[in-house]
Structure 1
Amino acid sequence: MMTTQVQMLERADGAIAYESAGSGPLVLCVPGMGDLRASYRHLVPGLVAAGYRVVTTDLRGHGDSTTTFSGYGDEGTADDIAALLDHLGSPAVVVGNSMGASAAIITAAKRPELVTGLVLLGPFGRNPEMSRIMASVMRAATAAPWVATVWKAYLPSLYKGAKPADHAEYTASLIAALRRPGYAAAFSRTTRLNHDAVERVLPAVQTPSLVLMGELDPDFPDPRAEAEWLAGALGGTATMVPDAGHYPQSQRADLVVPAVVEFLTTAAHRG
């Protein structure tokens, strides 16, 4: 795993952690809810070797970012992406997983000059179908006092298919990070997600886009149909990743790295 110095971007009510590796055209990687920037640990080396500067960031209230933010969710994360790209002084291809993909879409719609391409991994382009009863159960299960325990129990179901070799070690570090003072409460607030804002801005997105969806992603009743719907809405392409659930960037980096590099070469940084 590549390691670099963690840097902090100060925002009005908190600070966002990020780190950078490599040189060349910029790629910004944004993890999903309840995850860490190290979710991209198997993707970064391949992109750096292909000639890109890769910046990975933690969501507000996650990882090394602070828990002092007044709000959490897609739109706040989109604002953080825009602020980070402004700070870095360069437009970028934004790689987003899950909620990070949702935020990346919003950024591309609102600040198109900052986003030269979108790589969307297990993305939410709209709210998933969920009964009111299930929504109430999920809200209760993700209350701050026990959210770390619930997330630890639930996380294995999101990794259907192949597991990275360091899966146990990474999961342990993720849960340990979540159990630090203040982080469970921030995560709990993040789980109160609503993706309506994402679906509203889809028609405004003009940037090239690639949707990469795990064939076994349990967050969607029909992962292929969801991937094709979102790719169609964005005028992009959809690629299914076999033997992968919600985290194809770590589960099948052997397939995701070449797919992303090809996209960067042919779509986002052509000419």
Structure 2
Amino acid sequence: MSVSYVERSAGRIAYEVHGAGPLVVLAHGMGENWASYRHLVPLLVAAGHRVAAVDVRGHGASSVGWPTYAPAEVGGDLLAVVDELGGGPAVLVGSSSSAAAVVFAAAEAPERVAGIVLVGAFVEPPEANPLMRLAQAVVLRSPRLFGMFHKTLFPVTRPADDADYRRAMVANLREHGRMAAVRGVVALVEPHWTARARDVRQPVLVLMGARDPDFRDPGAEARAARRLFGTAEARMIEGSGHYPHADQPAATAEQLIAFLKVTTGA
């Protein structure tokens, strides 16, 4: 499948489209690229959906050098992809840092967004003591160290092709401007996505790996995210870490497909 692009005022966003049917747009977490969803996409296509897997600005095949990587702007990029593919309405799926982006998109354009899915969303910024903040600063400047950190987010099981995926991810991060984009994605900006959650009227699904190492209590974090919305459900993916679509794609697809039947009727 060839890469397509949508032009934005400060760069271009890369995406790949697979299948036919109601539109689902997938956005990955920091440092990754659309291939984070490589095992989930075929399952959604087989269930009768058109799937657009996006490279978030600054990542993958998307351009670098953006003036901001704020989630509100990333949400605008996702809406631009929706518009490029017929205007939706689409279901938007955001993983980790991109979970914030789908909230902004849903709040800003309810006519183009049928529902949203938040995977591994951070309700509060992760707590970090001075030593951890220093370690984070070092990791976010080194593709190799980021790759090592990424591996720790699979505490139970990893995909069979995980090593190959990670090598390709690290190689991409070595390109000029990529690590600056990673740092930009995690920079704290206002408003936080939680301030816009009350404006979302569409159905919302919160997915969380039951063994997600980014949270002291993944279940509590998922429930906290669910409570921010008027209409939301929270589901735990057993045996999964921070990326359930990668380490437990079948279980993740089961939850997503059930949600898609409600939101799209397909």
TM-score bracket for the superposition, by shorter chain length? over 0.9
Q: CA 1:128 to 1:195, structure 2 compared with 1: closer, same or farther past 3 Å?
A: farther
The Cα of 1:126 is off from its aligned counterpart by 3.5
Aligned to 2:109: 111
Runs of 4+ in 1 over 4 A off after TM superposition: none
Aligned to 1:227: 222
How many residue pairs match? The answer is 264
Residue type of the alignment partner of 2:243: Y
Between 1:16-25 and 1:148-157, the stretch displaced more is 148-157
Between 1:27-36 and 1:86-95, the stretch displaced more is 86-95
Aligned to 1:264: 260
| In 2: Cα distance, 1:10 partner to 1:158 partner | 33
2:97–2:186 contact (8 Å) kept in structure 1: no
Aligned to 1:92: 90
Name the SS of the counterpart of 2:118 in structure 1: strand
The Cα of 1:63 is off from its aligned counterpart by 0.2
Name the SS of the counterpart of 1:158 in structure 2: coil
Aligned to 1:150: 145
Answer yes or no: is 1:63 the counterpart of 2:69: no
Aligned to 1:135: 133
Aligned to 1:50: 47
Answer yes or no: is 1:11 the counterpart of 2:39: no
The Cα of 1:228 is off from its aligned counterpart by 0.9
Gaps of 5+ in 1: none
Aligned to 1:203: 198
TM-score, normalised on structure 1?
0.92
Aligned to 1:238: 234
Residue type of the alignment partner of 2:159: P
| In 1: Cα distance, 2:2 partner to 2:215 partner | 36
Q: What whole-Å deviation, never above 9, does each CA across 1:46-66 have from its counterpart, x for those lacking one?
A: 111111100000011100000
TM-score, normalised on structure 2?
0.93
Gaps of 5+ in 2: none
| In 2: Cα distance, 1:11 partner to 1:92 partner | 19
Name the SS of the counterpart of 1:112 in structure 2: coil
Q: What whole-Å deviation, never above 9, does each CA across 1:218-256 have from its counterpart, x for those lacking one?
A: 111110001011112223111111111100001001201
Between 1:18-27 and 1:83-92, the stretch displaced more is 83-92
The Cα of 1:131 is off from its aligned counterpart by 3.8
Q: CA 1:162 to 1:140, structure 2 compared with 1: closer, same or farther past 3 Å?
A: closer
1:126–1:198 contact (8 Å) kept in structure 2: no
Identical-pair percentage: 38
The Cα of 1:45 is off from its aligned counterpart by 0.6
2:154–2:240 contact (8 Å) kept in structure 1: yes
Aligned to 1:252: 248
2:140–2:179 contact (8 Å) kept in structure 1: no
The Cα of 1:74 is off from its aligned counterpart by 1.2
The Cα of 1:133 is off from its aligned counterpart by 5.3
The Cα of 1:86 is off from its aligned counterpart by 2.0
| In 2: Cα distance, 1:253 partner to 1:47 partner | 10
